[in-house]
Amino acid sequence: MDYIPAKHILVRNRSTAWFGTDHTMNLYRGCYHGCLYCDSRSDCYRIPDFDRVTAKANALPLLRDELARKVRPAFIGMGAMSDPYNPFEEALLLTRHALELIDAYGCGAAAATKSGLILRDADLYQSIQTHSPVICKITVTTADGELAAKIEPRAPSPARRLKAVEGLARAGIFCGVLLMPVLPFLEDRPEQVLEVVDRAADAGARFIYPGFGVTMRQGQREYFLRQLDLAFPDQNLSQRYLARYGSRYQCPSPRARQLWEIFARRCQDRGLLYRMPHIVSAATRGYGDRQLSFFS
Would you tell me which residues interact with ligand SF4 (CB under 6 A)?
31, 33-35, 38, 40, 82-83, 114, 155
At closest approach, how far in Å is the CB of 36 from ligand SF4?
9
| Pairing state between β 10-12 and 23-25 | antiparallel
Q: Which is nearer to ligand SF4, 177 or 267 (CB)?
A: 177
At closest approach, how far in Å is the CB of 50 from ligand SF4?
8
At closest approach, how far in Å is the CB of 10 from ligand SF4?
19
At closest approach, how far in Å is the CB of 169 from ligand SF4?
21
Please list the alpha-helical segments (H only) found in the chain.
Answer: 59-69, 89-92, 94-104, 122-129, 145-151, 158-170, 190-203, 220-231, 237-245, 256-270, 276-284, 290-293
Provide the 10 A C-beta neighbour count for residue 207: 24
At closest approach, how far in Å is the CB of 31 from ligand SF4?
3
Amino acid at 186: L
CA distances to 4, 128, 141, 181, 204 from 148, rounded to whole Å, are 31, 32, 8, 12, 21
Q: Which is nearer to ligand SF4, 82 or 142 (CB)?
A: 82
Q: Which is nearer to ligand SF4, 155 or 225 (CB)?
A: 155
Let me know: does 149 contact 114? Beta carbons within 8 Å.
no
Q: Which is nearer to ligand SF4, 38 or 256 (CB)?
A: 38
Q: Which is nearer to ligand SF4, 82 or 157 (CB)?
A: 82
Distance (Å, rounded) from C-alpha 150 to C-alpha 146? 7
Residues in CB range of 152: below 8 A, 6 or more apart:
33, 34, 35, 36, 114, 141
At closest approach, how far in Å is the CB of 106 from ligand SF4?
28
Q: Which is nearer to ligand SF4, 114 or 221 (CB)?
A: 114
Let me know: does 214 contact 151? Beta carbons within 8 Å.
no
Q: Which is nearer to ligand SF4, 115 or 253 (CB)?
A: 115
Backbone angles phi, psi at 81, to 5 degrees: -115, -10
First to last CA, the chain: 40
At closest approach, how far in Å is the CB of 272 from ligand SF4?
22
DSSP 8-class letter at 273: B
Nearest residue to 36 (alpha-carbon basis) of 197, 185, 214: 214
At closest approach, how far in Å is the CB of 285 from ligand SF4?
28
Q: Which is nearer to ligand SF4, 16 or 40 (CB)?
A: 40
